[in-house]
Amino acid sequence: MTRRDDRAQLPAPVFVLAMVAIAFFALPFVGLLWRAPWGSMLGVLGQESVRTALWLSLRTSLVATALAFLFGVPLAWLLARVPFPGNSAVRALCTLSMVLPPVVGGVALFFSFGRRGLFGQYLDQWFDVRLPFTTWGVVVAQTFVSMPFLVITVESALRQMDRRHEDAARTLGGSRWYVFRRVTLPTIRPALIAGGVLAWARALGEFGATITFAGNFPGTTRTLPLATYLALETDPQEALVISLVLIAVSFAVLIGLRERWLSGARAALT
């Protein structure tokens, strides 16, 4: 009853435009599902090239997520807790890659950490480390674009948490490090999970920076998104199947976040 009443109150043009928006998001998936080769699905997924790309994507995106946690949580803590001059400029810099076209990010990485890059030449000369066109290059590109998602989620949780819990823990005898591990991190757990999942999903879907910085070599740098793009020209069926896999993953992430972690994060923060 209330539903119908609400809908009746919505101005007609708003309602129509909202419906167009929904259709705009729904129709591409309808098209994809319509053409999906359900019968040969398992066969395509079993192909060597697809399995290699899938395995590479899983490995690199998980390592990128781990790196995002390792460096992103301390960065978020610094941004949230330490009022240094230029704090907001540093935050803007560290989250720039969220809004930057990924290809631009890839170009920037190439000119800095490429073999002839400003820093890359020394990595090569001194440590014999070459990032471009290697699997580590993929990881670097993915970390570059995905870490900001973790940083801003964790930073906002750190800002909003009740710091008096940390005070209480210190009066009980906890050192700063002990309190950080036993009180701060568990308190912002929902944000850590939400930020980690968002970062992982972003790393899994990374395309532009990867292909620019790491290239497109099967087995070492050809991740699922790259394989999809390539397959569209050679074997559209394969592209369809990989797309479906990526869609399924994204959907699962979104639903999981909605149902559990985002609401948990909200509850923890209020």
Partner 1 sequence: MSATVAPHTGLSAHVGVDLGDFTLDVELDVAAGEILAVLGPNGSGKSTLLRALSGLRAIDRGRITLDGTVLDDPAAGTLVTPEARPVGFVFQEHLLFDHLSALENVAFGLRARGVRANDARSSARRWLDRVGLGEFADARPSRLSGGQAQRVALARALAIDPAMLLLDEPLAALDVRTRQDVRRSLREHLATFPGVRILVTHDPVDAYALADRVAVFEGGRVAQVGTISDVTAHPRSRYVAELVGTNLVRGVVADGVLTTDHGAHLVVAADPGPVFAVIRPQAITLSLGTDPTSSARNVLTGTIADIDRLGDRARVGVDGPIPLVAEITIGALEALDLRPGDPVHAVLKATDITTYPV
Q: 3-class SS at 191? A: helix
Q: How far apart are the first and last CA of the chain?
A: 31
Give the residue with the Cβ less far from partner 1, 109 or 157.
157
**Cβ atoms of residues 223 and 59 within 8 Å:** no
| Residues between 126 and 165 with contacts to partner 1, criterion CB under 8 A | 162, 164-165
Q: Does 182 bind partner 1 (CB under 8 A)?
A: yes
**Cβ atoms of residues 208 and 105 within 8 Å:** yes
Give the residue with the Cβ less far from partner 1, 140 or 188.
188
Q: Does 173 bind partner 1 (CB under 8 A)?
A: yes
Candidates 168, 248, 252, 255: give the one binding partner 1 (CB under 8 A).
168
Q: Does 270 bind partner 1 (CB under 8 A)?
A: no
Question: Judged by CB under 8 A, which stretch of 132-140, 141-149, 180-188, 224-232 contacts partner 1?
Answer: 180-188
Distance (Å, whole) CA 148 – CA 20? 32
Give the residue with the Cβ less far from partner 1, 168 or 255.
168
Question: Judged by CB under 8 A, which stretch of 75-83, 139-147, 167-175, 217-225 contacts partner 1?
Answer: 167-175
**Cβ atoms of residues 66 and 144 within 8 Å:** no
Candidates 44, 50, 151, 169: give the one binding partner 1 (CB under 8 A).
169
Q: Does 259 bind partner 1 (CB under 8 A)?
A: no
Q: Does 170 bind partner 1 (CB under 8 A)?
A: yes
Residues 6+ apart with CB under 8 A from 257: 194, 197, 198
Distance (Å, whole) CA 151 – CA 122? 29
Give the residue with the Cβ less far from partner 1, 158 or 183.
183
Give the residue with the Cβ less far from partner 1, 73 or 244.
73
Q: 3-class SS at 41? A: helix
Candidates 2, 9, 88, 171: give the one binding partner 1 (CB under 8 A).
171
Distance (Å, whole) CA 133 – CA 169? 48
Candidates 21, 22, 167, 259: give the one binding partner 1 (CB under 8 A).
167
Tell me the angle at which helices 87-99 and 135-160 cross, rounded to the nearest 10 degrees: 130
Candidates 125, 175, 250, 263: give the one binding partner 1 (CB under 8 A).
175
Tell me the angle at which helices 135-160 and 48-81 cross, rounded to the nearest 10 degrees: 40
Site of interaction with partner 1 (CB under 8 A): 162, 164-165, 167-175, 178, 182-183, 186-187, 189, 268
